[in-house]
Structure 1
Amino acid sequence: VYGQKMLQLYRLQNNFINNFTHELKTPVTSLKLFLQTFSKHELARTDQLKYIQFMLSDVNRLTENINRILNLAKIESKSYANEFVDTDLIRAIDLFLTNHQHLFHNGTIRIIPPEGKLPTFRVNLPLFDMLLMNLVTNAVKYNDAPKPTVDIGFEIRPRHLIIRFVDNGIGIDKKELRKIFRKFYQIGRSENMSAKGSGLGLYLVQNIARIHKWKVAAHSQGIGKGSVFAISLPI
């Protein structure tokens, strides 16, 4: 059994390295092509602006992947800033969405306030932003709907607050639900999932939740039926 687990981990790591190498090489190759075009041709201003937008997209893609590795290293080495502050979660989420609206401009993200006033929670804000970035980015990226939507709702229970991220994305096969928080794990074999994912995003989400003594779970009715990610915070 131990040998099988080690072999599985090796395969996951190998897949991650191959996919991550692809994720780094693709935008670099694209940037090189655009820069060569700029150096060899006199381009109209409209064409320049078009290519610049493509290049900025490639730079953002590179930055996103590099940040995943840096964030993973910080969390696993426990070198994150150990500062937890009393936080209004709705205000923190709203501020996050405002600061990063350029990343989600093709989707609709709504905060649905709870019935009743929320207490404040002790939160490490940089880690919480990282958690939000992974959940919201996944919900918008892995989405074939004409208009991706994410509803962020709150349910107050006697001993817990539940925050739900409900999307209209491509969904998750029920057989995958228990595996998706594993390090390097990538859902399914479809091009939409494996080519763009690193297998680290949800692993980071789970570890950030654990650092806060929260719990995170995923739910889906299956492929094509959207997903729900629920975070449980003790009150």
Structure 2
Amino acid sequence: MKHTRWFYHPLFVFIFSILALVLSLFLSIYWYTKASKNLETIARKFNIDPQQVLKSETWMVILVLSILVGIILIGIFAIFVYSQKTVQLYRLQHNFINSFTHELKTPVTSLKLFLETFLKHDIPRTDQITYIRYMLQDVGRLSDNISRILNLARIESKSYAGAFVDSDMVQLVKDFITENHHLFEGCQIEIHDPDDAPFTYTVNVPLFEMFLINIFTNAIKYNTSRTPRIDIVFERQKQRLAVHFRDNGIGIPKTEIKRIFKKFYQVGRSDDMTAKGSGLGLYLVQNIARLHKGRVIASSDGPGEGAVFTLLLPRRR
């Protein structure tokens, strides 16, 4: 059975269909041309003007056949592309379910173990505090995963709360880091604003904070350094504003850079890089940027060289 499976591959079916259609067109034209020549011979035999026997319509018929076959080919190609995208989306969803199940099951199992330990044993106060901290970390992981799913649903349905207001983005980032410093303990975050001038843009503050939490979490999660570092650089360009988030993490392979913003997509598993999370963080980041009329681009010198995520926003006149 394994030797016959290639007959059912979409690519083989697509190529076979095109070849069959092109061959049909060729045979039809060949048959029509030959039939026209036979009719012309018969017309001359009986002293009939050949122009009256389909001669003038030959190329018109060929042209119409070619156009119809072209339309059919375009339809087949569209169906093929759609089917391939559907298969790819199915695979991404399958990977998401597997990884997200792991992300939920691991902290739940850990919490259950700690609670059973509290129930069965008398534990010294110092050990209790240690275990409680572990439990809070697991609860935080669960909360983050659930929040991402809920936020994704809100953004895709455009039912997010809050208005777009003019804000100094430098100060907004500083306030966010100050208010959430407990989430980034052990991480060094530096803000660089060369002009020391207001970096004003119209933003939805809750959405932009969601953008920042995903960028920071991604930089810390995919990092093997003793001290994760994030450098935030604000740059004023002629036509746009740019905010660069540079980290010292594990980097991104060149072949993966264009795919990392896709829904459910995770960097492929390898010996030195394991897929983590749900595959929704950067998808949320890109969608939030688009809601602000901008986009996010990524760059990296390769595995082990860190990564740079740049938010590009149109500059107002």
TM-score (structure 1 length as normaliser): 0.97
SS in structure 1 of the partner of residue 238 of structure 2: coil
The answer to whether 1:158 aligns with 2:238 is yes
Q: CA contact under 8 A between 2:162 and 2:205: conserved in structure 1?
A: no
Cα distance in 2 for residues equivalent to 1:180 and 1:9: 14
1:158 Cα deviation from its structure 2 partner: 1.5
Cα distance in 2 for residues equivalent to 1:186 and 1:25: 19
SS in structure 2 of the partner of residue 178 of structure 1: coil
1:119 Cα deviation from its structure 2 partner: 4.3
Query: Aligned match of 1:8 in 74, 84, 88?
Result: 88
The structure showing larger relative contact order (alpha-carbon pairs under 8 Å, at least 6 residues apart) is: 1
| Structure with higher helix content | 2
1:82 Cα deviation from its structure 2 partner: 5.1
CA deviation map 1:6-55 (0-9, x unaligned) = 11100000110111111111111110100000000000111101100110
Q: CA contact under 8 A between 1:89 and 1:121: conserved in structure 2?
A: yes
Match of 2:214?
A: 134
Aligned length: 234
SS in structure 2 of the partner of residue 187 of structure 1: coil
Query: Aligned match of 1:41 in 95, 99, 121?
Result: 121
Query: Aligned match of 2:269 in 189, 196, 201?
Result: 189
AA aligned to 2:253 is D
**Would you identify which runs of 4 or more consecutive aligned residues in structure 1 move more than 4 Å?**
none
Map 1:1-235; keep pairs closer than 5 Å. 1-81=81-161, 83-115=163-195, 117-190=197-270, 193-194=274-275, 196-235=276-315
TM-score (structure 2 length as normaliser): 0.72
CA deviation map 1:115-161 (0-9, x unaligned) = 25234211000000000000011111110111110000011112211
Cα distance in 1 for residues equivalent to 2:195 and 2:210: 27
Cα distance in 2 for residues equivalent to 1:90 and 1:193: 33
Q: CA contact under 8 A between 1:170 and 1:223: conserved in structure 2?
A: yes
Query: 5+ residue gaps in structure 1?
Result: none
1:114 Cα deviation from its structure 2 partner: 2.5
Cα distance in 1 for residues equivalent to 2:274 and 2:215: 15
CA deviation map 1:193-223 (0-9, x unaligned) = 41x3110000000000000101210000100
Query: 5+ residue gaps in structure 2?
Result: 1-80
AA aligned to 1:167 is D
Q: CA contact under 8 A between 2:170 and 2:199: conserved in structure 1?
A: no
Match of 2:62?
A: none
CA pair 172-83 structure 1, distance change in 2 beyond 3 A: same
1:2 Cα deviation from its structure 2 partner: 1.8
SS in structure 2 of the partner of residue 122 of structure 1: strand
Cα distance in 2 for residues equivalent to 1:63 and 1:20: 13
Q: CA contact under 8 A between 2:188 and 2:229: conserved in structure 1?
A: yes
Cα distance in 1 for residues equivalent to 2:114 and 2:260: 36
SS in structure 1 of the partner of residue 309 of structure 2: strand
SS in structure 2 of the partner of residue 152 of structure 1: strand
CA pair 216-85 structure 1, distance change in 2 beyond 3 A: same
Cα distance in 2 for residues equivalent to 1:81 and 1:171: 34
